[in-house]
Structures are given as C-alpha cells and as structure tokens.
Chain A
Amino acid sequence: MAKQHVKMTVNGKEVEALADPRTLLIHFLREDLKITGPHIGCETSHCGACTVDIDGKSVKSCTMFVGQAHGADITTVEGLVNADGSLGVIQEMFREHHGLQCGYCTPGMITRAHRLLQENPTPTEEDIRFGMAGNLCRCTGYQNIVKAVAHAADALNAQKEAAE
C-alpha cells in the first residue's frame, strides 16, 4: 500500500509525515511523533486512556486512522500545560486532589476533563460523572477524579473572573 501524506497541528505545532493509511492515530502520535502522553489501555474503544482533543471534540485516538485526522487541530495532555511549562489548572488539580493512583488513565482523564469544562464550566457532580463516563480507571479512583475535576472547574472560573 502506498504511503499517505498527512498534515495536522499537534499541540500548536504543525507536523507533516508519510504514513501507512492503516496507522491508528494513537500509534502515529506515540511512535512517529514520540508524543507519549496519550496511552494505549484497551485498544478497543472502551477505556479512554488514548483520549485526545481533536477540533474541539474528545476522541479515542485508538479508533481513528491517521488519515481521518489530516488537517485537524489536536491537543494531547502535553498541550495542556501553561505557557511557562508548569502544570495547567486541570493537571494541577489532579495533583492536588490526588485524582490518580497508578496514573495510567490520567492523560485521558485530563484531556477529557478539559473538553467537558469548556462545554460546561459549572458542572454538577452528576454532570462530571456522566461527562467522564468514557474514561475508565482500573484502580477505581473515581472519587478523587471527580473531586479534581470539580475543583478544576472552580479554579478555572476564578481565573476567568480575575482576568475580567
């Protein structure tokens, strides 16, 4: 099979490559671009560890071919840091509220929480649980994950108010 030319923006940087069309986006990110934040958990569209943000949508990157992302704007957990490289608000809240145990699901959790809070800046606990339902934590650390997202919402709102 002929290789396919793909071009996309990942964490604000334009990338271009030749890829086998059957390459899944998660493999392209991890193996070609060496962006290893998105993890491979189940590889069957269930666990959400590979979640990345694509054109304003949370997407399981194990369930997308690289060609489908041609022209897209992609953000991974690496792209959610502050401009100075320090932890972004959601990342900091996961650290502060211990929203992780082994940490394997965390990049997907944080990337998904980012989109959830963009769409709903003031979620109830139920909203958070429903909105995070595509991400599994095999340590079952959900209590603190939900807490971390709730605190991240508050912190982001406070930040927004301060800026106004």
Chain B
Amino acid sequence: MIPAGFEYHRPADVASALAILTTHGDEARVIAGGHSLIPMMKLRMAEMGHLVDLQDITELKGISVDGDTITIGAMTTQHELITSDALAEAAPIIREAALVIADPQVRYMGTIGGNVANGDPGNDMPGLMQCLDATYILVGPDGMRPVAAREFYEAAYFTAREDEEILTQISIPRPAPGTGYAYEKQKRKIGDYATAASGVMLTVAGGTCTSASIAMTNLADTPIWAEAAGAALVGSDLGEDAITAAIAAAKDAIDPVADNRGPVEFKMHVAGVILRRAIDRAIARAG
C-alpha cells in the first residue's frame, strides 16, 4: 500500500498553489483532507508527480453567515461543519448530513471542498449542495468564476472544474426561517457510502407547500437534483397524493446501478423509502 512517488508542495496562498498547478499541468493535483485521494494513491489508481497540500492556505478556511448568504471555505472540515453554532442556526441540514458521513476520524480531516469537488457520486455533500442551490467558486489562472452546484456534475469524477482550477469557496443562500429540512441516508454500516440518501428542504404556509427542493445521493453517476419531485409538492397540502407523486418523480430522475449494495430494484425501493422519511421529517420541522 505504498503510493507512487511525488513531490510535495505546501503553498501558503491560492496564488502560489495556482502557480504550481499551471507549471505542472495535469501532473499536479491538490490535496485537501486526503481521505478520498490518499486511498486512491495507495491503490495506485491515482498517480501524480506533484501533490499540492492546501492546509496552510488560511483564506480557504472558515464559515460565515452574512445576511442572506452562508459562505464556507473549501478547507472547512466536516467536524468544523458539525461544531459550528452559526451553521446550526442558519442551515441545520448541513450538520445533519455531515454527521452521517464516514466516521469521526474521517470527519476531522475530510473537507467540504474536497467532498464536493471530487465528483464521487457516493459523497453526500454534492446532493445536499444541489438541494440548497449552492454556488461553487472556482479560481484559476484566468480569475474567478461561479458555478451552480446543480450545473457542476457531468459524470462520475467529471465536473465543470478545469485541471488548473481550485474550488475555493461555497456560497449558499440562507434558507428562510421556518424551512423544514431533512437529510436521510441508508447505509449498510458506519463509514459506508449511501445505498440511498436524500436531502429535502420545504416551506409551508397555511397548510400549503410554498417551495420544495429535493436531491438524491448515490443513485446515479452524479448527484440528482430532482426538480420535478420538488414541483410535485409545491402548491399541494403535502398529503399522501402529493408525496406519492414526488417519490414517483424522484424515481424517474435517478438511474442506480447494481453493486454490492444491492440490485437496481432494491435501490429504487430504498430510494423511495428514504425520500418518504426525509419528506415526513421536513414537514414535521416546517413552521
């Protein structure tokens, strides 16, 4: 389990990190928490001549809630997401999702930036960020550009990020007060990826659903923002008919493949169960 050799870099700012990426092209890769990349390097499924460690770049760290916008630095760890009082107040669904990622040791190291940028369909944060309509900030040699989480994922491990770009920050519109939320995940054991997971955000006024956003995790080769599933709830009384329609729409949007977590039929079934639980919990929390 010894990875191939590489040269190690630890730049102090984003500009220095970009300079290394520009010099070495696809021979260089950034490392955040390393808990996806290092296992791949040990299996020799990832090899690079230059490893660029982002841990000293303070501008990539931190959580701030400013008016209607939540900003999270890419190097913020899952543990820091869980222990942030500001985030628990502004968007508690992020804490709920971070708590079901991997195990404590992994959450001390694993970062939100690495989780969303890697493009692994098993990761939980990409679907959640789509549910929250987050925007990723990418910085490259030509400057900065924002990309919506809902537009970022192309296929497993393929994203809108170019090789010489670094995902530096995530910007999330602060959910309205009283928004009901839930992140529900079915996994075989602690530390496993989801068999099926779902994030739900919805608002209710006078018994009628006024907005809803639903995303599904590890049920296709990208996270799936199930727009039609959310639309099936909006304007309804959130009764059985609307929930059944939303689940049917979400099932239409996903495309799971058989693996050691089960055959396609099982995953479709679990996806429906998980989404129903998430919707029920979100409704119970809406106020």
Answer yes or no: do A and B interact: yes
Give A contacts to B, CB under 8 Å: 1-2, 4, 20-22, 24, 43-46, 48, 51, 57-60, 62-65, 67-68, 70, 112, 116, 130-134
Decide: B103 and A1 in contact? CB cutoff 8 A. no
Q: Chain A residues with Cβ under 8 A from B39's Cβ? A: 44-45, 63
Decide: B53 and A67 in contact? CB cutoff 8 A. yes
- Residue of B5, B53, B79, B108 near A1 (CB, 8 A) is B5
Decide: B35 and A21 in contact? CB cutoff 8 A. no
Please list the 3 inter-chain residue pairs (A to B) with the smallest Cβ-Cβ separation, ordered nearest first: A134-B103, A57-B108, A21-B8
CB within 8 Å for A134 and B106 given contacts A45-B35, A68-B34: yes
Decide: B5 and A22 in contact? CB cutoff 8 A. yes
Starting from the known contacts A60-B105, A60-B106, 20 additional A-B residue pairs (CB-CB under 8 Å) come to: A1-B5, A1-B7, A20-B5, A22-B6, A43-B1, A48-B103, A57-B109, A63-B35, A63-B39, A63-B109, A64-B34, A65-B8, A65-B38, A70-B10, A116-B104, A133-B104, A134-B102, A134-B103, A134-B106, A134-B191
Instruction: Tell me whether B51 is interfacial, beta carbon within 8 Å.
Output: yes
Interface size, B (range): 20 to 34
What are 19 pairs between A and B in contact, CB < 8 Å? A1-B5, A2-B7, A21-B5, A22-B4, A24-B2, A51-B105, A58-B104, A58-B105, A59-B108, A63-B34, A64-B34, A64-B109, A65-B34, A68-B31, A112-B104, A132-B104, A134-B104, A134-B105, A134-B106
Q: Chain A residues with Cβ under 8 A from B258's Cβ? A: none
Q: Chain B residues with Cβ under 8 A from A130's Cβ? A: 104
B74 to chain A, nearest CB (A): 17
